[in-house]
Amino acid sequence: MKKKVTLKQIARELDVSISTVSKSLRNSPEISEDTRQKVQAFAKLYNYKPNNIALSLKNRKTKTIAIIIPEIVHHFFATVISGIEQVANENGYNVIVCLSNESFDKEVINMEMLANGSIDGFILSLSKETQFKADFHHITEVINQGMPVVMFDRVTNEILCDKVIIDDKTAAYDAVQSLINQGRKKIALVTTVDYVSVGKLRTDGYTKALLDNDIPFDENLIVKIEDIDNSEKQISDLLSGGEIDAVFAVNELFAVISVKIATKLGLNIPTDLSVVAFTDGIISRYSSPTITTVSQNGIKMGQKAAKMLIDRIESESEEEEHYKTEVIETHLIERETTISQKNATL
């Protein structure tokens, strides 16, 4: 078991100073060709690699970025991480992943712990509880310390920083419009509770689409799901009414559950009932029938977020004010839960 070798040890072995070793390895022109080669040969032999922690302390930057997300067992977030990781790696950064598990406290603890020198910047998506409490002091604090933060997907207007989002409202509007174009009139909405920012925006888009098409808004066609485990009954009640001819769901889980229940109720999809959902993931692709969804390119969101963060980290200027919000485009991926028009977008 040969332990990692340090500059000090090399210096001692070669009977030169630590400075000389350091400079030799960094190819400083100060050092004679002779000693440089000797040191480099020795270092190579012992497989010397500089200690990252020491470098971090010296340089006051760690070349690592932290991602704080509510959940990882969730295809969308996994794709975002994947995108971040790719760009981070290309730029020599490592990635620390922390899960808030939708808990405010855990989000705060994680951020505070990492803000103390461990990382160069944050990429984060708010936990449900944080959105519910609308308490963002931990984020403000970190930003005030001069640490760059990029938020994505679940963001808030109360924090000024770089952001990467999709246009949830417009995308929802377009999705609902596509149902209307197919002649659907009784369009139900299966959504989250209001404090989830994206759920709210998607609900707004739904409402606006109805309005613009002179379709009466009906409270009774809306189900707000707080807890996924109890959702079946709510959706079942909704669909049993019999009136409904389309469902717009704010995520694919709500959609697939709706599809299952509808099928059980003897409804034919898409003849009796069309279904469109947010966020194209694994489930939509493999459920039967496959589900028409709004794509939300997590890879691209992650890449963009990482790029923005690294730019911010590496830019000398501290011009705090030029925060940007990037909007990633979405599109509808038509599958079997809407009338098969065979003009699938992808």
Q: State the binding string over 34-63 for DNA (x if CB under 7 A, else -).
A: xx--------------xx--xx-xx-x---
- Name which position in 4, 8, 26, 133 contacts a copy of itself (CB under 8 A): 4
How many residues of this chain interact with DNA, rule: CB under 7 A?
A: 27
Which of 277, 150, 251 has the alpha carbon at shortest distance from 196? 251
Distances (CA, A) of 186 to 221, 222, 237, 245, 267: 8, 11, 15, 5, 15
Judged by beta carbon distances under 5 to 8 A according to partner kind, the member of DNA, a copy of itself, none in contact with residue 229 is none
Which of 200, 190, 138, 216 has the alpha carbon at shortest distance from 168? 200
- Name which position in 256, 294, 301, 305 contacts a copy of itself (CB under 8 A): 256
Judged by beta carbon distances under 5 to 8 A according to partner kind, the member of DNA, a copy of itself, none in contact with residue 8 is DNA
* Strand order across the 332-333 sheet: 222-225, 187-192, 246-249, 274-278, 292-294, 332-333
Residues 204-233 that bind a copy of itself (CB under 8 A): none
State yes or no: residue 105 binds a copy of itself (CB under 8 A).
Answer: no
State in angstroms the smallest separation of the CB of 99 from a copy of itself. Answer: 5
Peptide bond into 148 cis (omega under 30): no
State yes or no: residue 265 binds a copy of itself (CB under 8 A).
Answer: no
CA dihedral 269, 271, 273, 275 (to 10 degrees): 60
DSSP string, 81-99: HHHHHHHHHHTT-EEEEEE
What is the contact surface with a copy of itself in residues (CB under 8 A)? 1-4, 47, 49-54, 56-57, 62, 64, 72-75, 78-79, 81-82, 85, 89, 94-99, 106, 112-118, 141, 144-146, 256, 260, 263, 282-283, 286-288, 318, 320
